Structure 1
Amino acid sequence: MRSGACSALLLLRLLCLLLIHGLFLPLTSSRTTVHRDQFPPSFLFGTATSSFQIEGAYLQGNKSLSNWDVFSHIPGKIEDGSNADVTDNHYNLFMEDIKLMNDLGVDAYRFSISWSRVLPKGRFGEVNSEGIEFYNNLIDALLVKGIKPFVTLNHYDIPQLLEDRYGGWLSSEIQLDFSYFAQICFEAFGDRVTYWTTFNEPNVFIYDGYLSGTYPPGRCSYPFGNCSYGDSVLEPYIATHNLVLSHATAAQIYRKYYQEKQGGMIGIVISAAWYEPYDNTPADRLAVQRALAFDFAWFVDPFVYGDYPPDYPPEMRQIVDCRHFQLDTKLDFIGINHYTTKYAKDCMFSLCTSPYSLGEALVYVTGEKDGVYIGERTAMSDFFVVPRGIEGIVTYVKERYNNTPMFITENGYAQFTGPMDDLLNDTKRIEYHKGYLAVLSEVVRKGADVRGYFIWSLLDNFEWLHGYLVRFGLYYVDFQTLQRTPKWSATWYKEFLSEDNKTRAIRKTSTYEM
């Protein structure tokens, strides 16, 4: 063997050893590296939370009980037996949390308004001045720091009184309550709020509340769940129809009475997993399309095309009285909450041995194939790290909805709770966000009208059915002392967002044309 070939072989062996022992990092492509300047100057970067998950103070300030307040106190409903009575106590510590956001250097803060705090008795009672004062103070304090409020009107929870009085989303009466609540918020806060979303992830709380029954009001029927009452085949469609009409009414009120003088935008936020065919067969490729229609288009098509998608079961149209259903509305933007990618397997033309994960779509979804996961697992059993998925879902929305403006309203990495030192050293969260942002920057450069990205979440908080067993925060929270401590991911995000003052000033004042 010639000496040159021998040297090359020795070098190859050395590189292999270094790779095996983690001492050498190969050159990375643009998909695994990302910088702030790869996005437009006016692109918004922020953090996201929801009122129920962080506010606490569940009976403070004349707030009434929400359906989640009641549900989380039912034994056996929350995995660790906890509740959100106190959680992060953001209601009393919001100034401290705004300081954290300002230190990060974010452009915007996405939060939700507690319906029970503003209208404790719905439209049947008076507006709660203490609730209005809290959100006024929060919004004003954000603006002082140059942070744009990005406000969600409803993030899962509703006043329990509305559930008790007429059955919540199963009654058309809730359309009157929600539109009244929305108008109160537009009137009180709209002079300082540019970005409104009506609902966060209606596809989640409708499915889990009325199909599987794991969320309040806990309604379902066999084989979709084990509940004492409900109809999983019928009720999700009724609840969805009332929610769609609630959004439409609220959006029309905003456009007619507030948008021109307040200069804001209004949209909706959808939970958006990406799906890939389990096998590269026509049946599984069709299953992907049905999964996306059932999981996404069902809730967005009415606001873009004025009707439910073609995949909508025709017998359901009669049930929800769609004979004259045509919405005269539109979305100024679509919010996308994207965490993961899964496989979709056909159950319409093929035999599925497992229960249908997407019910009426006749699709089984899974993150595992032949014993191999689609991506690295996280503390959420059905969340996998698959950065390419954000390109898939953004491209789907771009093509289906004529490149309607989009925001990535949630993207985050889940940790199991554990020793504080382990949670602070969250390098996997950093790599997660770097991977997804790198792919997102490429999609934006290809022409997708994505205008912002929000990390879920600012703080560790009450994570719905998981209680405090799962943590998404950039900041670690000790739920005994409520002390906030930055994780390594917070330091990374701060460094990612940092730039010279001139560029930052441009980004703070620049806006997109509507």
Structure 2
Amino acid sequence: MKELQTGFPKGFLWGGATAANQIEGAYNEGGKGMSTSDYAAYKDPYATGKVDNFTFNVTSKELAEYKENEANYLFPKRWGIDFYHRYEEDIALFAEMGFKTFRLSISWARIFPTGLEAEPNEEGLAFYDKVFDTCAKYGIEPLVTMSHYEMPIALTEKYNGWASRELIPLFDKYARVLFNRYKSKVTYWITFNEMNMNLNSLYTGAGILEDLIDPEKKLEVTYQASHHQFLASALAVKAAREIMPEAKVGCMINQIESYALTTKPEDQLQALKSNQLNMFYPDVQARGEYPSYMARYFADNNIHVAMEEGDEEILKAGKVDYVAISYYMSHVTEAREDASELAGSFDSPIKNEHLELSQWDWPIDPIGLRISLMKLYDRYEIPLFVCENGLGAKDELTEDGKIHDEYRIDYIRKHVEQMKEAIKDGVDLMGYTTWGCIDLISCGTSQMSKRYGFIYVDQDDKGQGSLTRYRKDSFNWYKEVIASNGEVL
């Protein structure tokens, strides 16, 4: 019988998380090609009155307009927070907090500028060598995401992204280059960031221009693209085991725990179905096959996923070593006419009356994290990793260079407490990396003013500022959390 674990295990991987397209900048340096995220134009939410003015989707017409008239638009993910030139300073700050791990992603377009080259870009490879060497200097384990909401824009233009099977061998080539190059420097890998977010934005998650597909076939294209990514992920797992057997390769979803609005059986059933759609992605990657419940879902929605001979064997052979999640909020669902459209969506229009909301109207539900971890571990019985969790808020820099963010401390404290409870419940939890440990460009809105970090970066939504880094109050608080292995909160 397994012994009761009352605290965070020895060797627990505390740290923080980022993404290349939100921090690096230097979009046209070092031989990097243009990526899909480089064409996410800023839409001022304060001018439109929309808190979540998402820049997720880009159409073929918008892409053509952006390319023709770039000077008329702002593309904040092109400048990020200049991590490309300031990585040593930033990693030193992470080390000061005591990070055991630093989650970052590699820009595919920095390694293969168009994705089509026969040989990788040496300047791009050398940049990540320097980043990993700096991490090693401080004893920080890199946790590397291979595809985090960006890919070479050339693959979108040539193939309409992951709608095409042609991307599978291109990703396999990219993965093998990374594994061969960094096999002595990186142990922990994630293939695709939040793959289930394909259900929310095909452009962001799969590089697909939605206006080029039949709107009646959108769901089918979504699941076909996901199938191609499943195969690419499984092949990456296979390559990792060939090249570096000690490596750990995981999959990742945005964990969206759905609660039924009422005890009405129809609402309970809808919540179960919504959770199944969320779990579908790790079901395939952790179990190595399509779950039986999807057969009816595909039939009911006239979805036909094209599989080739050998696909099922690839999935079975490429099961991941762990399941990583991002967790920001829980959802409420009910049996209503648009229930199928809302299932799997990032945010629910039904708000939970028992939860407070963030400044961006996201419900704050720490217990939902515990529930999610318990359900996931019961389902897969392999290690879990919370690799994104954090509070986006408007931080105020005082005249003496201070940021008093007790609201962020309170948010993270409550989630850490619930992770500790989940471990006590028997969950095998590997680590926790807060999103984003340093202020960065928002994924959904391309804002800078939606801040998550323990480190304040002096830059506004339009890219103006000194880029000076300031420690927030949460910086020293998290430092103590890590030093005490989660005992001092």
| 3-state DSSP of counterpart to 1:233 | helix
The aligned counterpart of 2:184 is 191
**Code of the aligned partner of 1:299:** Y
The aligned counterpart of 1:224 is none
Shift of 1:136: 0.4
Check whether the contact 1:156–1:202 (CA below 8 A) recurs between aligned residues: no
Shift of 1:238: 1.2
The aligned counterpart of 1:301 is 283
| 3-state DSSP of counterpart to 2:386 | strand
| 3-state DSSP of counterpart to 1:414 | coil
The aligned counterpart of 2:100 is 107
Residues 400-455 of structure 1, C-alpha deviation per residue, up to 9 Å, x if partnerless? 11x21111011101103655579921111101111111111011022101111111
**Code of the aligned partner of 1:69:** D
| 3-state DSSP of counterpart to 2:78 | coil
**Code of the aligned partner of 2:335:** D
> Could you tell me which of 229, 240, 255 is aligned with 1:254?
240
**Alpha-carbon separation, structure 1, partners of 2:272 and 2:211:** 25
Structure 2 residue 417 is the aligned partner of structure 1 residue 438: yes
**Code of the aligned partner of 1:193:** V
Shift of 1:206: 4.9
**Code of the aligned partner of 1:128:** N
The aligned counterpart of 1:285 is 268
**Alpha-carbon separation, structure 2, partners of 1:375 and 1:299:** 27
Taking a change above 3 Å as real, the CA distance of residues 429 and 283 of structure 1, as seen in their structure-2 partners, is: same
The aligned counterpart of 2:321 is 332
**Code of the aligned partner of 1:55:** E
Structure 2 residue 443 is the aligned partner of structure 1 residue 464: yes
> Could you tell me which of 466, 482, 487 is aligned with 1:497?
482
The aligned counterpart of 2:129 is 136
Check whether the contact 1:259–1:265 (CA below 8 A) recurs between aligned residues: no
User: What runs of 5+ residues in structure 1 fail to find an aligned partner?
Assistant: 1-36, 222-226, 505-514
Shift of 1:81: 5.0
Shift of 1:218: 4.4
**Code of the aligned partner of 2:483:** S
Shift of 1:380: 3.0
**Alpha-carbon separation, structure 2, partners of 1:180 and 1:449:** 32
Check whether the contact 1:345–1:365 (CA below 8 A) recurs between aligned residues: no
The aligned counterpart of 2:359 is 379
Which range moves more in the overlay, 227-236 or 103-112? 227-236
Residues 258-315 of structure 1, C-alpha deviation per residue, up to 9 Å, x if partnerless? 232xx111111111022211111221122222111112x2211112333222232243
Check whether the contact 1:237–1:320 (CA below 8 A) recurs between aligned residues: no
Structure 2 residue 459 is the aligned partner of structure 1 residue 474: no
Shift of 1:487: 1.1
Check whether the contact 2:7–2:423 (CA below 8 A) recurs between aligned residues: no
**Alpha-carbon separation, structure 1, partners of 2:303 and 2:151:** 26
Structure 2 residue 292 is the aligned partner of structure 1 residue 310: yes
The aligned counterpart of 1:273 is 256
Taking a change above 3 Å as real, the CA distance of residues 289 and 451 of structure 1, as seen in their structure-2 partners, is: same
**Code of the aligned partner of 2:15:** G
The aligned counterpart of 2:49 is none
The aligned counterpart of 1:26 is none
**Alpha-carbon separation, structure 1, partners of 2:75 and 2:360:** 18
Structure 2 residue 385 is the aligned partner of structure 1 residue 407: yes
**Alpha-carbon separation, structure 2, partners of 1:376 and 1:53:** 28
Residues 125-181 of structure 1, C-alpha deviation per residue, up to 9 Å, x if partnerless? 431111111100100110110101111101010001111111110000110111111
The aligned counterpart of 1:451 is 430
Q: Which one has a bigger Cα radius of gyration? A: 1
The aligned counterpart of 1:11 is none
Residues 357-396 of structure 1, C-alpha deviation per residue, up to 9 Å, x if partnerless? 227x9x9934525xx3x42211333x21111001111111
**Alpha-carbon separation, structure 2, partners of 1:466 and 1:366:** 18
The aligned counterpart of 2:334 is 345
Residues 99-123 of structure 1, C-alpha deviation per residue, up to 9 Å, x if partnerless? 1001100100010000000111214
**Alpha-carbon separation, structure 2, partners of 1:485 and 1:215:** 35
**Code of the aligned partner of 1:137:** K
Structure 2 residue 201 is the aligned partner of structure 1 residue 219: no
| 3-state DSSP of counterpart to 1:110 | strand
**Code of the aligned partner of 1:475:** I
Check whether the contact 2:42–2:445 (CA below 8 A) recurs between aligned residues: no
Residues 178-199 of structure 1, C-alpha deviation per residue, up to 9 Å, x if partnerless? 1111100001112111101101
Structure 2 residue 29 is the aligned partner of structure 1 residue 49: no
| 3-state DSSP of counterpart to 1:464 | coil
Shift of 1:498: 2.2
Check whether the contact 1:415–1:423 (CA below 8 A) recurs between aligned residues: no
| 3-state DSSP of counterpart to 1:376 | coil
Structure 2 residue 32 is the aligned partner of structure 1 residue 63: yes
For 1:144-155, list aligned pairs within 5 A: 144-155=137-148
The aligned counterpart of 1:175 is 168
**Alpha-carbon separation, structure 2, partners of 1:119 and 1:395:** 39
The aligned counterpart of 2:219 is 233
Aligned pairs, number: 444
**Code of the aligned partner of 1:368:** K
The aligned counterpart of 2:376 is 397
* Percent identity between the two aligned chains: 27
| 3-state DSSP of counterpart to 1:153 | strand
For 1:108-123, list aligned pairs within 5 A: 108-123=101-116
Structure 2 residue 394 is the aligned partner of structure 1 residue 416: yes
TM-score normalised per structure 1: 0.80
**Code of the aligned partner of 1:413:** L
Taking a change above 3 Å as real, the CA distance of residues 45 and 138 of structure 1, as seen in their structure-2 partners, is: same
TM-score normalised per structure 2: 0.84
